[in-house]
Amino acid sequence: MGDDNIPPAMTERDRWGGWIMARLDDGWCSALDRRTLLCTIYSRRPMICREYQAGDSDCIEERRIHN
Ligand code: SF4
């Protein structure tokens, strides 16, 4: 989105033609370090990730779905 500057190899197109973060076979974001669970492109992470607030209603809903 907008000024996002994501490494192209970590992105892919969704079914509607938009660019999204690629997921690996485990279903998690390609930028996630599986050992530390930290973002490997933190300073360049997409705007949607910058705006995401841990503990808000979206976060709680995602945790509910995936736990
Ligand atoms: S902050 Fe965004 S780009 Fe980084 S690992 Fe999480 S979902 Fe992926």
- Output the pLDDT for position 44: 93
pLDDT at 67 over 90: no
Q: What is the best residue among 24, 49, 53, 59 to mutate for testing ligand 1's pocket, by most ligand atoms within 8 Å of CB?
A: 49
Confidence check: pLDDT of 60 > 90:
yes
Extents of the domains making up the chain:
8-66
Query: Closest Cα to atom 3, ligand 1: which residue?
Result: 45
Q: Please report the atom of ligand 1 found closest to the CA of residue 6.
A: 3
- Residues 5-50 pLDDT 10s: 899 999 999 999 999 999 999 999 999 999 999 999 999 999 989 9
Q: Is the whole model's pTM more than 0.85, yes or no?
A: no
CB 28 within 8 A of CB 37: no
Backbone φ and ψ of 64, nearest 5°: -65, -45
Task: Name the residue at shortest CA distance from atom 7 of ligand 1.
Answer: 29
Strand partners, 32: 39
